[in-house]
Amino acid sequence: MDVIVQAFLDHLSVERGLSANTQEAYGRDLSQFVVCLRGKGVRAFDEVTEDHLVGFLEALRASGASAGSTRRKLSAVKTFCKFAYRDGFVKRDFTANIAGLKGPQRLPSVLSIEEVSNLLAQPDTRETAGARDKAMLEVLYASGLRVSELITLKTIDVNMDVGFVRCLGKGSKERIIPLGKVAIEYLQRYLLTARGKYVKTTSSEYLFLTNRGTKMSRISFWKIIKKYTAAAGITRNITPHTLRHSFATHLLQGGADLRSIQEMLGHADIATTQVYTHVTQEKLKQVYRKTHPRA
């Protein structure tokens, strides 16, 4: 069984291009499933029945696993089994008759336009770090990049004459995203006045650098967001992904179509993008409840 699981993990890496963290998560979930099967005397995946899978789910619930964790593990097993059946490792898909577990849809946390403006006004652009931080925040909100995409941008990825940024998203898929004039203005200012002060003895190809002249890390940028969130007086838990959600929601509220937003966000499935329609609908409901005399 371990050999087939490893073949699946190799498939995730080589064919689907998933991140190391995602591969490790699949590996942990499937390892737990295999341990459960062996505890029931199962020695090959062709011996697995629907009852074994149901028993695995019941064991998870009995152990106190959260509903979200249980859903994720079932999804991992179903994805694995589809692969194993398709590639001939097993004779039947023992998950075919087991429906996925649906959980409550959690709407993404979104800042209002006023909150975003307040947050982006916090960096002091007269300072080197402030100029860099301002450029990063403006580019993030202007493009809806994931934080991993933002910190791996290279200087050649930005075309300020035309007004776009190029990035490699999940699965190494390239996409081109427009940049607004405000983001371009502060990016140019950063490149002219601040970036050179971060470059050490050897030049770096990365756009945003740390005090050591190295590429910005996820943790470092997370700390930057927290710093300016506190300065803006925003008490909610804000992450770099919050600006990505705000980017998409504000575009939708402004009249952008879902397909365009999907392209800019780099979503493979438009169903992922549709969550932002729920955000705007919920906002409308809140306005209605506050303003209509018979709400």
Q: pLDDT by residue (tens digit) across 22-57? A: 889 899 999 998 998 899 898 888 888 888 888 888
- pLDDT tens sequence across 175-230: 999 999 999 999 999 999 999 999 886 778 999 999 999 999 888 999 999 999 99
In the chain the domains, ranked by start, together with CATH numbers, are 2-86 (1.10.150), 113-290 (1.10.443.10)
Provide the annotated active-site residues. Answer: 146, 170, 241, 244, 267, 276
Query: Helix or strand or coil: residue 42?
Result: coil
Confidence of residue 295 (pLDDT cuts 50, 70, 90): low
Give the model confidence (pLDDT) of 229-268 as tens digits.
Answer: 999 999 988 888 899 999 999 998 888 888 899 999 988 8
pLDDT of the residue at 288: 60
**In sequence order, which residues have a C-beta less than 8 Å from that of residue 131 and are 6 or more positions away?**
123, 125, 186, 189, 190, 193, 194
pLDDT above 80 (res 133): yes
Question: Sign of the C-alpha dihedral, residues 169, 174, 180, 186?
Answer: positive
User: Considering only CA atoms, which of 208, 87, 223 is closest in space to residue 157?
Assistant: 208
DSSP state letters, 100-130 = PPP-PPPPPP---HHHHHHHHT-S-TTSHHH
Contact 26, 76 (CB under 8 A): yes
* DSSP state at residue 179: -
